A = this chain, B = another copy of it.
Amino acid sequence: MADQVGGPAQVVLTASVARRYYLDGRSKVEIAEEFGLSRFKVARLIDAARDSGLVRIEIRHQGVIDVELSAHVQDRFGLQHAIIVDTPDDHAESLRQHLGRAAAELLSEVITPRDVLGLAWARSVSAMAKTLPRLPGIPVIQLTGALSLPNDDDSSVDAVRDVARASGGRAYLFYAPFTVPDATTARALRQQPEVARAFDQLGLVTKAVVGVGLWECGQSTLYDAAEERDRRALRHLGVCADISGVFVSADGETVKTDLAERMIGITAEQLRAIPEVIAIPYGTAKAPAVRAALRSGLVSGLVTHTALAHALLDNG
């Protein structure tokens, strides 16, 4: 890698040849004729130019996406897509907006007119829905009920409606809570025409966007909304992450729970049947949950920020 090109005349010649080749896009044969050299000599000069560092090639992106890190994460976890946004993560709201925008761009890029889109309830999914510019006219299916949050004007329904409006396709939405006190109520709700109609479409969903929660206080809206009994029960069952209501252990196994019977939402089997599931997690604290989600194989796409990506790689 040290400058081993030779004397100054050699350096100048090498630089000229390298310029013609890399910057002007000439072929080595052309260059050989121009300089009166053999094409082999030209090839060796160019090799020397690269080895010596006289030619420097760098790949970088001036946008907010860290392409190297994205590729690394994608490769490391065998994902179909990984978008790592280089953004400060001190403010949750702005972070969510940035990730939402990136996810919206990703979605509008990968969606085709033949797709059927599923949306789970999550604040990051809502953020995405708001910045989504325009989609082909595809059906949009609501995957889960909604949890009402204090200081929050979004709901799962809004996201589905927003996206369906952007696409011009049909919206399968319903108004129902994510969790109810008992299994009977849940069954009854699932019989509701709107809910049933949406859930009938679940098998057709080809792409979905979900959130990921860590089964700890403040790291999952589902956890925060649950009763203490359920929190403990699931923790004892080894639940580490919830993927929009589907529970997963630290080693990536799905976990069957009683709570599931009291929920209005997609099941683990149905989620696994979706070819592409994009998650939009944020916050380094969630790293164990994201790791579990990635291990489970339920998630095939990831949109997140650099800090969480590094956390994933450091101990992944």
A interface residue numbers (CB < 8 A to B): 3, 6-12, 15-16, 18-19, 22-23, 49, 53-63, 65, 67-68, 70-71, 74-75, 81-83, 102, 105-106, 108-110
Contact = CB atoms under 8 A, between A and B. Distances in A.
Contacts of A10: 109
Given A8-B109, A11-B63, A19-B71, 11 more contacts: A3-B62, A7-B105, A7-B109, A7-B110, A9-B81, A9-B83, A11-B65, A15-B59, A15-B67, A19-B59, A22-B57
A7 B109 CA distance: 6
A8 B68 contact: no
A209 to B, nearest CB: 14
B106 A7 contact: yes
Given A3-B63, A63-B3, A109-B6, A12 B57 contact: no
A7 B71 contact: no
B71 A12 contact: yes
Contact of A59 (B6, B22, B65, B82): B22
Contacts of A109: 6-10
Given A7-B109, A8-B105, A15 B56 contact: no
Contacts of A57: 22-23, 55-57
A207 B203 CA distance: 83
B6 A71 contact: no
